[in-house]
A and B are shown apart, each in its own frame.
Chain A
Amino acid sequence: MKVLLILLSCLQLSLLAGESVNSGHAEVRLLSNLQSQQDETFYLGIEMAMDKGWHTYWQNPGDSGGAFDIIWESPEGFIIENVSWPTPELIPYPPLMTYGYEDYVLFPFQVFRAADSNLGVIKATINFLICADICVPESASIEIDLSTEQPSSLIADGIKSVPNRVMPVSLDANNQNLNLGFAFDGTINDAYFFTDNQGDIKHSASQKLRRLGDNNYELILEQASLTPDQLSGILKINDSGFIVMPTAVDASITNSFSINLFQALLFAFIGGLILNLMPCVFPVIALKTLSFIKISEHAPHQAKWHGWSYTVGVLSSFVAIALVLIGLKAAGESLGWGFQLQAPEIVGGLALLMVLIGFILLSDINIGTSLTSVGSKMQQGQSYSNSFATGVLAVVVASPCTAPFMGAALGFALVQPTAMSLIIFIMLGLGFALPYLMLSIVPSLVAWLPKPGAWMETFKQIMAFPMFATAIWLIWVFAQQTSSTDLVILMGLILVMGFGLWFGRSRNRTQNIGISVIVLLSVIFGLASLDKTVTQKLAEDDSLTWQAGIEEQLQAQQQAYFINFTAAWCITCQANEQIALSRDPVKEFFNTNNIKYIKADWTNRNDDITNTLSSYNRSGVPLYVFWKPGMQTPKILPAILTEGYILGL
């Protein structure tokens, strides 16, 4: 009997709480929490109990769908506010993302009424989209009589699901991303930002959460097409919603490059100047200068044109390299500067070139169209095409040196728009060509150079040794990239080339061409037959191996880390390891301070590393990144490290 009574009273209650209407895929009813006749503010609620697996939408539906629409009819003296949106859920339909409410939702509406207004019937007609795999527009006309209606406790639950706390955020535009920064106490299992406006951010893009230290976090959003001026919406953290008021997007990071462009140009220019002193370049330039001394003695008026031919040779080579790189990048290759040294064929080819130049310098050999001709022909004066070719050769032999020494500057160049990259490369070429060009257009400078004489031959021969030294380094890089069998192939090729040179020097022109062809073919076949399956790693030490995403993992674990982005062919990297990173005090420092030492080896091509480098606006190594709990963003360390600097971290 008692049970029956309870049942009856339940029945009674449900009858009192507005009539529910079946719209097709949902039971819809109107509820109120008006407690007494005197209440001037209260809430109405529209409850939608949807069929299992069906959903309706938030105000921004995401990639498809749409919000509901409502028409009220109420007694005089009533103001019914717009809906207070409950925190939505993610309803993914890959590749699309939609925002809404699945299975059940209660939409609260705040109501203000004049104290002298009469309670009466309130009617609502709600039109909404209800979707599972398919979408159906449905409609429900519902009403309640406030004079007899009992307050419903369901409304309080509905109001609870509406965010009421404001979360202050910062918004920074960073390339195609918008970084939404906020502070939160406690652990975050998941976080998602629901943007108010369609078309501001890509709804379907995953939002990556990064802990910046302490209670500071950053949610990385992908912007749609243009950087929005501001964003507002709901930030959902562990199932609770927070209001994000309209917040302006700070785009200054994206635009900051215009300030740095001048610096980049200056550095490229100075870098080009310094390149002249590189062990692989200096001999070529020095010899050119020697021949130049001769020319200016015999025919000073020609000197100027030789200078310009050389400059054009240098510039066109740099532009060609830049265009190849830009082209490959545009084609979707993820490459960074130094990429040319990631192919063992090229490293091997450059090693052969270095040895060849060394041999030529040591001997009197004058190869037909010798690029470095300094021998007997010089007396008759050189052709301008020869000067042009010297410019090209200078850039080719310089290329293994630019990678390790200029990675950072060229890295900057490559992340710029095409025109900017080109200008930076041209500045580099101008700096590179400048010393020689200056000599040719300001003849008085020649007076500062030593007079020509027999010493020139000795000097030429001495210059062979920096070339051999460069070759040794390249062979070492080659050995890191390949197997010992390949190393033997390369050595064999050097042998063949050396023999060809010796054999060819006493022969006539036709025979020389024949020998050159044989040597060239064996080099090509030799390099093509390399077995690249065996790839050795850099010398093992107690470092961890870098993997994509390791930074986020470690930050989430509050684990300090130091990442060494390095490559075997990067001289600066090797130097830093010797001077700083592999020193015992540094190792001890990492141990005692619990800093994870991670090595990212870019000796061979690795697109993950390339992408990570570009996220730091670099496209080359070395790059050193340090982070410890409490830091907002990881710190990028200088390219030249010292023991003292690391101990001071």
Chain B
Amino acid sequence: MRYLVSLIFLFTLNLNAVEVVLQDPQLNEPAPKFSALDSNGKTISLDDFKGQPVILEWTNHECPYVVRHYKEDNMQKVQRIAKAEGYVWLSVISSAPGEQGYITADKANDLTISRNAANDFVLLDESGALGMQYGAKTTPHMYMIDAEGILRFKGGIDDIGGGAKFFRASLTDAVNYIAMNDTPVSKNQKPDIQESVPYGCSVKYNYD
């Protein structure tokens, strides 16, 4: 009985408290469930997309890495490819208020239009709870979840990697892991490459 009570207690604790550490979701296991507000004030849950593959993109429109991916229409191109394969694309902003990349819902919608983004929803995760749940370290940081809710990919969007060389390398010549994995993951299969080193700016959680 005591254990049952403490189990329930632990369970509710996990739901309510914001963890202060980054979790590390396991590949080929069910992706962590979440609910978050989107830029239209709607609550979006992972469960809403049962039967559809989902891509999570951590973003920060002021981060130079993200800026370049969007300026050269690279991110949007990957979004369009994914959309054609039936994916739901969720862009997540985990910047804390006052930190770089933190934006209001209206600004988020403006950005989607001005950058011609093909994402489905922009999630405003100002508490950082969703970011920490997924262990998002950088912008961009990508996650692919198949139609059965299994996490199939996590990491950097391509093989360029961080460092100043990123700003000279060709985005189109790089191996883009999302584009590469689109087909197997949409068929609920394990892609060849499931993990890459995430690179970019740090996610601007509230560090205090």
Are chains A and B native binding partners rather than an unrelated pairing?
yes
CB distance from B185 to the nearest CB of A (A): 19
| B197: chain A residues within 8 A (beta carbon) | 198-199
Give A68-101 interface residues, CB cut-off 8 Å to B: 68-69, 93-96, 98
Among B6, B62, B132, B138, point to the contact of A333 (Cβ < 8 A).
Answer: B6
CB distance from B106 to the nearest CB of A (A): 22
Q: CA–CA, A199 to B161, complex, Å?
A: 12
User: Is the beta-carbon distance between B64 and A66 smaller than 8 angstroms?
Assistant: no
Give A498-527 interface residues, CB cut-off 8 Å to B: none
Closest A residue to B10 by CB, please name it.
Answer: A332
CB distance from B50 to the nearest CB of A (A): 24
User: Is the beta-carbon distance between B200 and A64 smaller than 8 angstroms?
Assistant: yes
User: Is the beta-carbon distance between A345 and B2 smaller than 8 angstroms?
Assistant: yes
Q: CA–CA, A133 to B100, complex, Å?
A: 8
User: Is the beta-carbon distance between A57 and B62 smaller than 8 angstroms?
Assistant: no
CB distance from B23 to the nearest CB of A (A): 10
User: Is the beta-carbon distance between B62 and A134 smaller than 8 angstroms?
Assistant: yes
User: Is the beta-carbon distance between A95 and B132 smaller than 8 angstroms?
Assistant: yes
| B161: chain A residues within 8 A (beta carbon) | 66
Give B163-193 interface residues, CB cut-off 8 Å to A: 163-168
User: Is the beta-carbon distance between B202 and A65 smaller than 8 angstroms?
Assistant: yes
Give A300-335 interface residues, CB cut-off 8 Å to B: 328, 331-333, 335
Q: CA–CA, A64 to B198, complex, Å?
A: 8
Q: CA–CA, A204 to B23, complex, Å?
A: 12
| A137: chain B residues within 8 A (beta carbon) | 64, 164, 167
User: Is the beta-carbon distance between B7 and A129 smaller than 8 angstroms?
Assistant: no
Closest A residue to B14 by CB, please name it.
Answer: A332
Most buried by A among B3, B132, B202, B203: B202
Q: CA–CA, A137 to B24, complex, Å?
A: 29
| B201: chain A residues within 8 A (beta carbon) | 64-65, 131, 134-135
| B6: chain A residues within 8 A (beta carbon) | 333
CB distance from B63 to the nearest CB of A (A): 7
CB of A128 closer than 8 Å to a CB of B: yes
Among B20, B22, B62, B164, point to the contact of A66 (Cβ < 8 A).
Answer: B164
CB of B47 closer than 8 Å to a CB of A: no
CB of A277 closer than 8 Å to a CB of B: no
Among A63, A66, A528, point to the contact of B163 (Cβ < 8 A).
Answer: A66
User: Given A67-B164, A127-B167, A134-B62: A93 and B207 within 8 A (CB)?
Assistant: yes
Give A101-150 interface residues, CB cut-off 8 Å to B: 126-129, 131, 133-137, 139
Q: CA–CA, A335 to B3, complex, Å?
A: 10
User: Is the beta-carbon distance between B202 and A333 smaller than 8 angstroms?
Assistant: no
CB distance from A435 to the nearest CB of B (A): 33
CB of A622 closer than 8 Å to a CB of B: no
Give B128-143 interface residues, CB cut-off 8 Å to A: 132, 137-138
Q: CA–CA, A345 to B202, complex, Å?
A: 50
| A68: chain B residues within 8 A (beta carbon) | 163-164
User: Is the beta-carbon distance between A95 and B163 smaller than 8 angstroms?
Assistant: no
User: Is the beta-carbon distance between A69 and B163 smaller than 8 angstroms?
Assistant: yes
CB of A336 closer than 8 Å to a CB of B: no
CB distance from A467 to the nearest CB of B (A): 25
User: Is the beta-carbon distance between B164 and A333 smaller than 8 angstroms?
Assistant: no
* Category for how many chain B residues contact A: 35 or more
CB of B205 closer than 8 Å to a CB of A: yes
CB of B21 closer than 8 Å to a CB of A: yes
CB of A441 closer than 8 Å to a CB of B: no
CB of A36 closer than 8 Å to a CB of B: no
| B30: chain A residues within 8 A (beta carbon) | none
Report how many residues on chain A are interfacial, defined by Cβ distance under 8 Å: 37
CB of B204 closer than 8 Å to a CB of A: yes
Q: CA–CA, A60 to B65, complex, Å?
A: 17
**Interface of chain B, main secondary structure:** loop
CB of B113 closer than 8 Å to a CB of A: no
CB of A45 closer than 8 Å to a CB of B: no
User: Is the beta-carbon distance between A93 and B202 smaller than 8 angstroms?
Assistant: yes
User: Is the beta-carbon distance between A135 and B205 smaller than 8 angstroms?
Assistant: no
CB distance from A525 to the nearest CB of B (A): 13
CB of A225 closer than 8 Å to a CB of B: yes
Give B23-69 interface residues, CB cut-off 8 Å to A: 24, 62-65
CB of A343 closer than 8 Å to a CB of B: yes
Q: CA–CA, A61 to B65, complex, Å?
A: 15
Q: CA–CA, A66 to B138, complex, Å?
A: 11
Q: CA–CA, A345 to B198, complex, Å?
A: 50
Among B62, B166, B202, point to the contact of A96 (Cβ < 8 A).
Answer: B202
Q: CA–CA, A647 to B7, complex, Å?
A: 45
| B198: chain A residues within 8 A (beta carbon) | 63-64
User: Is the beta-carbon distance between B64 and A57 smaller than 8 angstroms?
Assistant: no
Q: CA–CA, A133 to B101, complex, Å?
A: 11
Query: C-beta contact mask, A146-162 vs B, less than 8 Å → 1, else 0?
Result: 00000000000000000
Q: CA–CA, A65 to B197, complex, Å?
A: 12
Q: CA–CA, A67 to B199, complex, Å?
A: 11
User: Is the beta-carbon distance between B62 and A128 smaller than 8 angstroms?
Assistant: no
| A66: chain B residues within 8 A (beta carbon) | 161-166, 199
User: Is the beta-carbon distance between B10 and A63 smaller than 8 angstroms?
Assistant: no
CB distance from A134 to the nearest CB of B (A): 4
Most buried by A among B164, B198, B199: B164
Among A94, A328, A528, point to the contact of B207 (Cβ < 8 A).
Answer: A94
CB of B195 closer than 8 Å to a CB of A: yes
Q: CA–CA, A95 to B22, complex, Å?
A: 6
Q: CA–CA, A332 to B7, complex, Å?
A: 8
| B62: chain A residues within 8 A (beta carbon) | 134
| B137: chain A residues within 8 A (beta carbon) | 63-64, 96
Query: C-beta contact mask, B94-121 vs A, less than 8 Å → 1, else 0?
Result: 0000011000000000000000000000
| B1: chain A residues within 8 A (beta carbon) | 343, 345, 528
CB distance from A618 to the nearest CB of B (A): 20
User: Given A127-B164, A225-B195, A345-B2: A98 and B202 within 8 A (CB)?
Assistant: yes
CB distance from B194 to the nearest CB of A (A): 10
User: Is the beta-carbon distance between A204 and B163 smaller than 8 angstroms?
Assistant: no
Closest B residue to A98 by CB, please name it.
Answer: B202
| A199: chain B residues within 8 A (beta carbon) | 195, 197
Q: CA–CA, A65 to B64, complex, Å?
A: 11
Among A95, A335, A343, point to the contact of B20 (Cβ < 8 A).
Answer: A95
Q: CA–CA, A204 to B62, complex, Å?
A: 24
Most buried by A among B165, B200, B201: B201
CB distance from A527 to the nearest CB of B (A): 9
Closest B residue to A96 by CB, please name it.
Answer: B202
| A135: chain B residues within 8 A (beta carbon) | 63-65, 201-202
- 25 intermolecular pairs with C-beta atoms under 8 Å apart: A63-B198, A63-B202, A64-B162, A64-B203, A66-B161, A66-B164, A68-B164, A69-B168, A96-B22, A126-B164, A127-B164, A127-B165, A128-B164, A129-B164, A131-B201, A134-B100, A135-B65, A136-B64, A137-B164, A204-B22, A331-B10, A333-B3, A333-B10, A343-B1, A345-B2
CB-based closest 5 A-B pairs = A66-B162, A66-B163, A127-B164, A64-B202, A69-B164
Chain A residues in the interface with B (C-beta under 8 A): 57, 61, 63-69, 93-96, 98, 126-129, 131, 133-137, 139, 198-199, 204, 225, 328, 331-333, 335, 343, 345, 528
Chain B residues in the interface with A (C-beta under 8 A): 1-3, 6-7, 10, 20-22, 24, 62-65, 99-100, 132, 137-138, 161-168, 195, 197-205, 207
Additional pairs, 16, CB under 8 Å, beyond known A66-B163, A137-B64, A139-B164: A57-B163, A61-B162, A64-B138, A66-B162, A66-B164, A94-B207, A95-B20, A96-B202, A128-B164, A133-B100, A133-B204, A134-B100, A135-B63, A204-B22, A333-B6, A343-B2
